[in-house]
Structure 1
């Protein structure tokens, strides 16, 4: 087997991650908008239907690159410096991805809040990302930008705990088959697509919960808001199981295709940067 064990620097991971995050978020934004509107409590049509499917894209343009950059810089650093033995690699990948995701969410959640409210016309039709940001700030102050942080973490930790160990496993198995390491970018993209699709389908109820929390514009300073568990139970009891899997098809398709682009672009960029170092 042809093997290259060179590890990326933090800067290389940052740059490659930023490119990957920007590429996937801008390319698949319309599908994300449709998924978000399907999950909105007011219903798909009242949330905007198929109109203005790029509403909120400005906030994604600002947040996607830094969020993905932070994720991969943390993930690669933790993965390559893990004290765990080789036979516990899946645990290493799971823990590394989970910690990296928490770090990335600190950057990404504010833009997610703005994006979600702009996508669903929460402040009326025609509102831009900047206008949505001003409304969040005036209504809830700076803490409003982190509305849904807990539910986002609750969604992302299980998602990354499934996606990245599965992604690394698929890459390892494919490397043995083709007798080459690292894989070409398009080969890594296939692994990323499968891993992303599986993780997306299994964690859809948590994504629905995250969307509902971010769309809840009640002021926590004026009333006690329900816990995440209570919200999840309420959705199930009042709307049934289908509501917990609202948007599962576009979410799975989007993240499956997005996983191919995200991880394919990352592998292409990071190995390209390493070859020039």
Structure 2
């Protein structure tokens, strides 16, 4: 047992210490960014209303409404509905006003459960591409059902009974594989994100160390490197995040949204449909909350991990010097 928990030669910390270092950052990050995640999901779940002659078609991501304008007036009433958001700040205000502050932390339980599952798979386990850990593909596959439940909870107000009914309906219609809905676009988001993040993180960290004339990165250098590299990766992979959200919010909405089955399920067809309906801007829905979320999330994650790793390295070195 002592041999299994001995410090690894490369990092001089035990697997348990590595789990504590990464897990602390993950929990802090989840508590901090969940409201931004809720806003991002809400913005991505709604689709841009558009007018056709005297008729007005509105879709909130769950159902379509055809509204006939009276003498060309009255269409603006749709934009004033509390279910439609015009931007990040508007979403924050409306969600808080009509659903309560607690709604901003919707989906937190499955998020924390995902962290627990990831840590249970070993040191450095990950639920986020900016974690040091195993392959993003493996992480996505393991965590995908929890990610789907989290997205569903954040897309609109749902009681646990309603959520259970959605899952039961989806499983009854499409089998247990429906719980992995959105796996494809999630992989296409997380694998490039991970590659972009770590490549840019190393470049930015080395550059900042040279500018500061330091051999090792400080907490602030790690924080800034994580924020910059996370922002770049978040922007470039956002279209796949939009597709993932729209695929997952359809779970169990067969009765409410009977045309969902006729919609294209291919990631590339969905990208084309979103662009056709909402333009290129639609592929970057939720841009601001995602950037505001990912930049500090990656910064907190990596800097907390680096700080914890350094702390445990020094602690182990002191123990060795004392002969413990």
Task: Classify the TM-score, shorter chain.
Answer: 0.7 to 0.9
Q: Is the 8 A contact 1:18 1:67 kept in 2?
A: no
Over the aligned positions, Cα root-mean-square deviation in angstroms equals 3.2
Q: Is the 8 A contact 1:200 1:255 kept in 2?
A: yes
Could you tell me how far 1:192 is from its partner in structure 2? 0.4
In the comparison of the two structures, how many residue pairs are matched? 249
Of 136, 140, 144, which residue of structure 1 is paired with 2:167? 136
Alignment of 1:1-277 (within 5 A): 6=11, 8-41=13-46, 42=60, 45-46=82-83, 49-50=94-95, 51=99, 52-67=103-118, 73=124, 100-121=135-156, 125-128=157-160, 132=163, 135-137=166-168, 139-140=170-171, 141-217=175-251, 226-277=265-316
TM-score (norm 1): 0.77
Aligned to 2:71: none
TM-score (norm 2): 0.67
Distance 1:154 1:174, change over 3 A: same
Distance 1:223 1:209, change over 3 A: closer
Gaps of 5+ in 2: 1-9, 47-59, 62-80, 85-90, 255-260, 317-324
**Whose radius of gyration is greater, 1 or 2?**
2
Aligned to 2:53: none
Could you tell me how far 1:104 is from its partner in structure 2? 2.1
Distance 2:164 2:209 in 1: 45
Distance 2:197 2:164 in 1: 31
Name the structure with the higher helix share: 1
